[in-house]
Amino acid sequence: MTNGLLIAISSLALAAGVAQATLPSAAAPAAQAPAKEDLVRVALDTEKGRIVLDLDRGRAPVTTANFLRYIDAGRFDGITFYRAMPYGKDNGLIQGGITRDAKLLYPAIAHEPASKTGIRHEPGTILMANAGPGTAKSDFFITIGAIPFGDDFAPFGHVVEGMDVVKAIFASPTDPEKGLGAMKGQMLSPGIKITAAKRVAG
């Protein structure tokens, strides 16, 4: 599991299925078709440049709708990327979200893990941060490289432009004294402001 993430690991209960025979004349239940991609493009304009993401509304509808709700209400305008967490060599993530005014937070959302959505953990993946399944609100990660998160966080899209900006934010100065516990030394100083967050044409 990742270092420095103050997150409870969710355990998955796997139930063994028992196959049942059916009469030849009985119609087998139709298999549920996997959800299809339905991409929504958004741009995060930051003090380091623009990051463009494709959010997968088709496969992660709850998580994507939550993120778009913050964008459409203007609640991500003026927030910061405030954390850069290293993971291994030349890898890690940046974290942003609403940290100063709890009144801007919407209720927590249901968890959509990768095992359910089929969205892969790849370089430039955007995921909702959480303190356990069903607690995600506004905070999100963008990864530098692939990180084996498993089902602990909900990936819901990928960077399509601006990975150089993500890496520039990740390389920004941190304060060695700020941050609690394993997060100490990972707080950006200063934070990198998101000047505007909006939907854009794909």
Q: Which CATH superfamily is domain 39-199 in?
A: Cyclophilin-like (2.40.100.10)
Higher pLDDT, 83 or 13: 83
- pLDDT tier at 32, thresholds 50, 70, 90: low
pLDDT of residue 84: 98
- pTM tops 0.85, yes or no: no
Segment 97-100 long-range contacts (CB within 8 Å, at least 24 positions apart): 97/129, 97/137, 97/138, 97/139, 97/140, 98/70, 98/137, 98/138, 98/139
Percent of the chain with pLDDT over 70: 83
50-106 residue pLDDT tens: 999 999 999 999 999 999 999 999 999 999 999 999 999 999 999 999 998 999 999
pLDDT of residue 5: 38
Burial of 184 (0-12, 13-18, 19+ CB in 10 A): middle
B/e letters for 108-142, b = 16+ CB within 10 Å, e = fewer, are bbebbbbeebebebeebbbbbbbeebeebbbbbbb
Which of 10-14, 71-75, 145-149, 150-154 has the lowest average pLDDT?
10-14
pLDDT of residue 33: 55
- What gap in Å lies between CA 169 and CA 49, rounded to an integer? 9
pLDDT of residue 28: 42
Length of the chain in terms of residues written:
202
Would you say residue 44 has pLDDT above 70?
yes
Give 31's contacts (C-beta < 8 A, 6+ positions apart): none
- What gap in Å lies between CA 164 and CA 50, rounded to an integer? 9
- What gap in Å lies between CA 66 and CA 47, rounded to an integer? 24
Mean pLDDT of 167-172: 98
| Residue 91 and residue 145 in contact, taking contact as beta carbons nearer than 8 Å | yes
